[in-house]
Structure 1
Amino acid sequence: MTNPAARGAVADVGLAGVGSALPGDPVDNTALGKRLGIAPEWIEAFIGTRTRYFCLDLGDGTPRWSLEDLCADAADRALADAGANADDVAFIVLATATPDALMPTTAALVADRLGIDGVPVYQLQSGCSGAVQAMALASSLLAAADRGSRPVGLVVGGDVCSKHLDLRQDFRELPPAELVNYVLFGDGAGAVVLSRAPGAARALLKRAEHRISGLGRAPGQRLEWFGRADRHSDRPAVSEDYKAVETQVPLMAQETLNALCDTLGWPAHTLGQVLPPQLSGRMTERITRGLRQGLEWEEVSCVAETGNNGNALAFLQLERLLPRLSARGRAVGIAIESSKWIKAGFAVEATP
């Protein structure tokens, strides 16, 4: 992250509101273990995620919520938190790896649900780094906007991973590499309102940056899109190289943290909070230990309670961060996407 042109937006815009949406009741390891025929203790020991949320009914696999539902709810709550309404929104940027359909975009459907019309609407297709990509794009759009235009940008991220998981199969026959996806992931959405209106900010988004870091390297994760012609393929819907993830993500997380602090001129000991990558309860614990290096910042995590819900995670973490941010507080968030190895990070500072 040494090339300034690759670093993304120098944001320094206001974080005016945040909201989230999780479907239904939490599914604990006992309920999930019973459904899958595996020991709850195995889930806790190897994954470390205690609960997660699913858009489908765990019993029969019937969908109960869509990504559109979750994103619209999260966005509505973020606007309410910011004291803003549909007429204030200059644009929407939505990030997801699991859209409800290829067309129309989930972003356009969310705009319609919120009563927003006549503004640009963008949808970014990416994994968990997409939330940071969306904040970087939104901060650039706000910085370039005419001063007389609408004052806020709405940034949304979410994923419904459960629709890629088949609950009708015999889980006793499933290889461990595929079975782990049923306990690792969850569904959810989050949103933030970015504003350049004076006095509107609860905190400042100082920076949001991302770059690909996988030249010549095999992807660490693949999520298939199955159409009518290939939906009966033997390819698994979700596949991950967990050994590569365990090896590479901690290193990339440290590189991202160092690069953000260097760019901003923030000594690591001045950080009050760090929002580490949210892969799983166990993996996040391991990454956090590596990042800490004797420093006393507070970890802000959610994955052990929400599951890995992709593009929702950064916003769920921000929702937990903002009430904890002290008067002179500084925080750094990190998202590492293993699909083609993308480093992403953002920095938040308390308003003066």
Structure 2
Amino acid sequence: MSGSKILASAHYVPRDIVTNNDLAKIIDTSDEWIQAHTGIKTRHISLQGENTSDLATRAAESVLSQTDIKPEDIDLIIVTTFTPDGLAPSTAALVQRNLHAENAWAYDIVTACSGFVFGLSTADKFIKSGQYKNALVISAEVNSKMMDFKDRTSTVFFGDGAGAVLMTADDAGIVKAEKMHTIGNADVVHSGRIAPLTSLSVDNYPKIDAFSQQGRNVFDEVTTIVPNHIRNFLSEHNLSTSDIDYFIPHQANLRLIEHIANDLGESMTKFSTNVVTNGNTSSAGIAIGLDELNKSVSLKGKRVLLTGFGAGFTYGSMLLQF
């Protein structure tokens, strides 16, 4: 086989919806401030004990229910997340157990909010090798468990959710081009750092820190790098932004997406967004956006550009043609 295609897509979000006014009850903020600065109105928060593997499993079960593919037919499960259930076992291994996908091997990819693009790229290569036929790519995040709810500059952005696609071998292949980048920068955004020991003591116990970001630096970094990256990537393949039917960027916040669209000279009607009602769901945002677009319009023959950017600093684009 010369490529892969997306056989089905799905997403899942927790049932509890937290409004800006709900946050204003516990944080010094307001609905007006949050909407003005982020465009976000609500977000889904996991308040029923669902962890990342649970959200990922729900999305995977939904995507499989749309096909004739059974769990035992899955060869590979990739979960992209930077809010895993734990460091070991991998969240993907827990999903494999939950699905009873006994013939699959599974592992996590950690590239923060770029995860879904990196995950699709990885699964596509495994399928192209000819050794694997069916792969689940799931992006799942429970961002809420990593938040410091005293930090209003970060907490108001984030929500929880998961998106999934089932990829299978295909002669034509849906992935037409891709380009990924990493810039090692641990200062602008970080989460879950575990400090090394400084002495030997029975009181030593692993402690992790909450999510933290320098919001203005993130905005400046993204608006400087990402639009140029998109233009250069398309130009390398003799395309321009006008040749793209739909853009699905990382759902960082609506104002950032609007800035990118304006910089590219493209209408927001070409951008798939879910950040207004879901908040920033990290790597899951693009996966959710792809599923929503897939279910709302016919993508046959359409060019869709996925662009992720996130902590690390990681960023990249993938051009899909359905």
TM-score calculated relative to the size of structure 2: 0.88
Please name the residue that 1:184 is paired with: 157
Match in the other structure for 2:199: none
Contact 1:328 1:349 in 2 (8 A): yes
Call closer, same or farther: CA 1:328–1:27 in 2, change over 3 Å: same
> CA offsets per residue over residues 274-322 of structure 1, 9 Å max, x none?
112321122222222222x156861111111111111111111111222
Question: Closer, same or farther in 2 for the Cα pair 1:154/1:36, shift >3 Å?
Answer: same
Unaligned runs of 5+ in 1: 1-10, 57-62, 168-173
Task: Name the amino acid aligned to 1:152.
Answer: N
Distance in 1 (alpha carbons) for counterparts of 2:89 and 2:147 = 23
Contact 1:260 1:346 in 2 (8 A): no
Q: Which residue of 2 aligns with 1:4?
A: none
Check the 8 A contact 2:83/2:142 in 1, yes or no: yes
Over residues 252-294 of structure 1, what are the superposed CA-to-partner deviations in whole Å (9 max), with x where a residue is unaligned? 2213312332343333222111112321122222222222x15
Give the match's secondary structure for 1:210: strand
Structure 2 residues without counterparts, runs of 5 or longer: 196-203
Q: Secondary structure of 2:220's match?
A: helix
The residue identity in structure 1 corresponding to 2:205 is: A
Superposed displacement of residue 223, structure 1: 0.5
Q: How does 1:300-319 map to 2 (within 5 A)?
A: 300-319=272-291
The counterpart of 1:105, out of the listed 90, 93, 97, is 90
Alignment partners' CA distance in 1, 2:128 and 2:313: 28
Distance 2:140 2:123 in 1: 16
In structure 2, relative to structure 1, the CA distance for the partners of 1:72 and 1:208 (3 Å cut) is farther
**d(CA) in 2 for partners of 1:42 and 1:258?**
32
Partner of 1:6: none
Q: Would you say the 8 A contact 1:152–1:195 is kept in 2?
A: yes
d(CA) in 1 for partners of 2:315 and 2:241? 19
* Separation of aligned partners in 2, 1:273 and 1:279: 17
Aligned to 2:104, what secondary structure does the other structure show? coil
- Tell me if the contact between 2:44 and 2:160 (Cα under 8 Å) persists in the aligned partners: yes
* Contact 2:112-2:312 at 8 Å conserved across structures: no
Counterpart of 1:209 in structure 2 is 179
State the alpha-carbon separation in 2 of the partners of residues 245 and 296 from structure 1. 21
Contact 2:18 2:43 in 1 (8 A): yes
Aligned to 1:258: 231
* Pair 1:94–1:207, CA change in 2 (3 A): farther
Which TM-score applies when normalising by structure 1?
A: 0.81
Q: Which amino acid aligns with 2:34?
A: I
The one-letter code sitting in structure 2 at the alignment partner of 1:239 is S
Residues 89-127 of structure 1: CA distance to partner in whole angstroms, max 9, x if unpaired?
111111110111111111001001111113321211220
The RMSD of aligned alpha carbons is 2.4
Secondary structure at the aligned position of 1:331 is classed as strand
1:13 maps to amino acid: S
CA contact (8 A) 1:257 1:332 kept: no
Q: Is contact 1:136-1:209 (8 Å) kept?
A: no
What is the one-letter code of the residue matched to 1:121? A
Name the count of aligned residue pairs: 312
Q: Aligned equivalents of 1:209 and 1:126: distance in 2?
A: 14
SS at the partner of 1:128? helix
- Residue 152 of structure 1 is aligned with which of 124, 131, 134? 134
| TM superposition shift of 1:197 | 4.7
Contact 2:74 2:103 (C-alpha < 8 Å) held by counterparts: no
Show CA shifts across 1:163-206 (max 9, x none): 12355xxxxxx4xxx212221111111111111157xx9x9233
Secondary structure of the corresponding residue to residue 312 of structure 2: coil
- Percent of pairs identical after alignment? 24
Q: Deviations over 1:192-231 (max 9, x none)?
A: 1111157xx9x923334322134xx563201024587353
Aligned: 1:341 with 2:313:
yes
SS at match of 1:184: coil
Q: CA deviation at 1:340?
A: 2.6
Which aligned pairs between 1:1-352 and structure 2 lie closer than 5 A?
12-56=3-47, 64-146=49-131, 151-166=133-148, 174=150, 178-197=151-170, 204-214=174-184, 219-225=187-193, 229=205, 231=207, 237-291=210-264, 293=265, 298-323=270-295, 324-337=297-310, 339-350=311-322
| Secondary structure of the corresponding residue to residue 332 of structure 1 | strand
Counterpart AA for 2:287: F
Q: 1:102 is paired with a residue of what secondary structure?
A: coil
The structure-2 alpha-carbon separation of the partners of 1:219 and 1:255, relative to structure 1 and needing over 3 Å to count, comes to farther
Cα distance, 1:249 vs. partner? Answer: 0.4
92-101 or 30-39: which moved more? 30-39
